[in-house]
Amino acid sequence: MESVKLAVIFYSMGGTNYEMAKWAKEAGETAGAEVRLLKVEELAPQSAIDGNEGWKATVDATKDIPVATSEDIIWADSIIFSTPTRFGNVPSQMKQFIDTQGGIWAEGKTINKVVSAMSSAQNPHGGQEATILSLYTSMMHWGAIIASPGYTDSVLFGAGGNPYGTSVTVGQDGKMVENVEGAVKHQAARTVTIAEWVKNGMSK
């Protein structure tokens, strides 16, 4: 039986979503998936990045991670997105990546991808759920299959109990307030499992 192919695609400015994406990659591999860890292209000018110590550190830390492309979407059976919130929506960097997949969408190459999403914000009610739901709206247009964590494991309650996808609050010190590692790993493993069901069912 062929392994599920999982693309973990993130945008991170302060490092939070990069860390969450790494946890998802680890859990995906533990679940038996072939995983690609990918970032979306940075759109901000270098002058803005250089003026923010945390942002610059994240750009430096992720410099060797490949930028996600349409080919990665075609390759993947499942996709996990990890993104901060911007005014209740995804950042422009993630939005541009999604918006530029119109070509493969028109060819039907986004259909039946198993997708899940995670988010972060600086306040407990700073738009995390709205961000995930906004991203899922795009996934419905793709014809994707949304693999939300729901309340499928008690580990989710320790992370705040977000049924749409793991979300985390980031304090003024740049550190995560909630302990979400377990929730991220459960969500990733669940995404891979559902992708296995879909892939095996389609191969029959």
pLDDT tens digits for range 52-103: 888 999 999 999 999 999 999 999 999 999 999 999 999 999 999 999 999 9
Helix 128-142 to helix 92-99 angle, to the nearest 10 degrees?
A: 10
The Cα-based distances of 170 to 13, 27, 30, 53, 83 in angstroms read 12, 22, 27, 16, 13
Provide the pLDDT for residue 155: 94
Provide the pLDDT for residue 174: 85
125 pLDDT tier (thresholds 50, 70, 90): confident
The Cα–Cα gap between 179 and 156 comes to 10
> Of 58, 156, 138, whose CA–CA distance to 98 is shortest?
138
Tell how far CA 43 is from the center of its chain. 18
What mean pLDDT is predicted for residues 26-39?
A: 98
Contacts for 52-58: CB closer than 8 Å, 24+ residues apart: 52/13, 54/13, 54/14, 54/15, 54/174, 55/13, 55/14, 57/15, 58/12, 58/13, 58/14, 58/15, 58/18
**% of the chain surpassing 90 pLDDT:** 85
pTM attached to this predicted model: 0.95
Residue-number span of the structural domain to which 182 is assigned: 5-203
Provide the number of structural domains found in the chain: 1
The Cα–Cα gap between 148 and 136 comes to 10
Q: Output the domain CATH number for residue 121.
A: 3.40.50.360
What mean pLDDT is predicted for residues 146-152?
A: 97
The Cα–Cα gap between 88 and 100 comes to 21
pLDDT digits (tens, 9 = 90+) for 90-111: 999 999 999 999 999 999 999 9
Residue 146 has pLDDT above 70, yes or no: yes
